[in-house]
Amino acid sequence: MKKGLVFRSTGSWYTVESDGLFYACRIKGKLRLKGIKSTNPIAVGDRVIFEVDMLASEPQGTIVEIEERQNYIVRKSVNLSKQTHIIASNIDQVFLLITLHNPPTSLAFIDRFLVTAEAYQVPSILVFNKLDTCNSEQEQEIDDLAAIYSKIGYKILKISASKGLNIDKIKSMMENRISMFSGHSGVGKSTLINAIAPNLNLKTAATSKQHQQGIHTTTFAEIFALPKGMKLIDTPGIKGFGMVDMQAVEIGNYFPEFVNLKSGCKFHNCLHQSEPQCAVIRGIKRGDIAVSRYQSYLQMLENDTTYR
């Protein structure tokens, strides 16, 4: 038996690294019977135990056990709405790439992603990309938005992947850590990864002018091992981000600015809508909570985010 780290998942085969060797592995059948409701029982970043196939001409094996996950990022499956898809696991930090134009990243998307990351204890860093394409008005828009999230406590970076602006700051934050990169298609994720590690030479594609949407260039999640202990998880571009397995009463727990105030609410199960003596609503009126964040919260309450 060997222990290893899942570097790539393409469906039925998994690339597992162990002691510097890469093994092509399949899953032992009974693993599928453990009640895992995700479309992918094993995710990139999983630490696994596997049996080596001694008769194979190339390094191969069979995964027999998944070690307990430290954390993970999960979303609703695109094709099977009643199932989940684990994007990656055992993540030290996630860089969420954002572009306000070309293509636009909605505030609702940002907040849904952050709520899920908070729920599964994945530290998030917001990266505003394509600064080189912004005029002064758009730069101010980015500054205003960055100020909202910085006040909450999120780390903010403003970069231009294509021009190499502030790439060194990202690289220094990645040393000896497993970092996931995520965002809509077209936000410049592959361009950024190529700026961090030019030798990877990932495919990039221009944004569709007609629909202002990105074109998918990454088709599955994958870990890349880089110098200085950096491990980079590249993920496919995400169009939407559906939250899963979350009760309405707990959503507010994943808005850090709500958590600081909610002990002042009259009711312990306050949903911060129209309840009397709600400390969160008072915070909005004082300007302590951004209206855009509260609107995102209300949208999450309206949608059915819970299924088992």
Taking the C-alpha atoms of 48, 51, 52 and 55 in order, what is their torsion angle to the nearest 10 degrees? -150
Q: Which amino acid is at 265?
A: C
Other beta carbons within 10 Å of 78: 14
* pLDDT for 306: 42
Joined together, the tokens standing for residue 202 give 């990932």
Distance of CA 84 to the CA centre of its chain: 14
pLDDT higher than threshold 70 for residue 78: no
Query: Is 42 in contact with 27 (CB distance < 8 Å)?
Result: yes
* pLDDT for 81: 57
pLDDT in tens, 225-258: 999 999 999 887 766 566 667 888 899 999 999 9
* pLDDT for 219: 52
* pLDDT for 247: 86
pTM of the shown model? 0.86
* pLDDT for 144: 96
6-20, 31-45, 46-60, 153-167: lowest mean pLDDT where? 31-45
pLDDT-derived band of residue 184, with 50, 70 and 90 as boundaries?
A: confident
Q: Which amino acid is at 95?
A: F
pLDDT higher than threshold 70 for residue 289: yes
Residue 102, Cβ density class (10 Å: 0-12 exposed, 13-18 middle, ≥19 buried):
middle
Rounded to an integer, what distance in angstroms lies between the CA atom of residue 72 and that of residue 49?
18
* pLDDT for 125: 98
Q: Which amino acid is at 199?
A: N
Delineate the domains of the chain, giving CATH numbers in brackets.
2-66 (2.40.50.140), 78-234 (3.40.50.300), 248-302 (1.10.40.50)
Q: Which of 131, 112, 123, 114 is nearest to 188 (CA)?
A: 131
* pLDDT for 84: 78
Within 8 A by CB and 6+ apart from 97, the residues are 127, 129, 181, 182, 183, 184, 187, 188, 189, 192
